[in-house]
Amino acid sequence: MTLQRTRPDLPSKDKRWKLVNATMRRNGYAGHALIESLHAVQDAFGFLDEEAMTFVADSLDVPLSKVYGVATFYHLFMLKPQGRHACVVCTGTACYIKGAGALIEGIEERFHAAPGETTADQALSVLTARCVGACGLAPAVVLDGNVIGKLAVGQLCDLLAEEVAE
Ligand code: FES
């Protein structure tokens, strides 16, 4: 008799978890898919946080310590950003065509933080992801976990300025 392992529920209704789960499912939830799965998390969320790493560990049935080991060993992986606010700019194809590059440039100009960086006052971390699952809202941005879209660079920067001022 083989024991059927139960898979953990998706951490939230955020559609990005489905993208991550699809990658793990495609690999039969096998432990050797750990790096690919972490890439899927980073592509969707821009970084890896504890919730995501726990979800991947439970789904693939690998120890959380191993997930942390891999996530911290490879410099390609970005752990949860240090800023009080996190702005993930989607640079997937749909968003890129609709001006994601201008958003990144605009943020860098105004807040002096490039993708992967946090402002000197630790108020804002800027990240990129390859598709956040909201292509219809291109160019999409995820600000503190909320997906927002179709903003011009000036509007986005004003919104960020309001957020970081709080
Ligand atoms: S390409 Fe940006 S949300 Fe899909």
Render 20-44 in DSSP notation, one character per residue: HHHHHHHTTT-GGGHHHHHHHHHHH
Residues of the chain above pLDDT 90, percent: 71
Atom of ligand 1 nearest to the CA of 139: 2
Q: Give the tens place of pLDDT for each residue, 86-140.
A: 999 999 999 999 999 999 999 999 999 999 899 999 999 999 988 888 899 999 9
Residue having the nearest C-alpha atom to atom 1 of ligand 1: 92
- Ligand 1 mean position to 80 CA, how many Å? 21
pLDDT at 94 (0 to 100): 96
Determine contact, residues 20/56, Cβ cutoff 8 Å.
Answer: yes
Q: Does 103 or 147 have the greater pLDDT score?
A: 103
Average pLDDT of the chain, as a whole number? 92
DSSP symbols for 43-58? HHHSSB-HHHHHHHHH
**Which CATH number describes the domain made up of 85-165?**
3.40.30.10
138 pocket-lining for ligand 1 (C-beta < 6 Å): yes
Least confident of 14-23, 48-57, 69-78: 69-78
- Ligand 1 mean position to 4 CA, how many Å? 35
Give the dihedral sign, CA 109/131/145/70. negative
- Ligand 1 mean position to 81 CA, how many Å? 21
Q: In 3D, which of 111, 52, 120 has the Cα closest to residue 80?
A: 52
pLDDT at 2 (0 to 100): 53
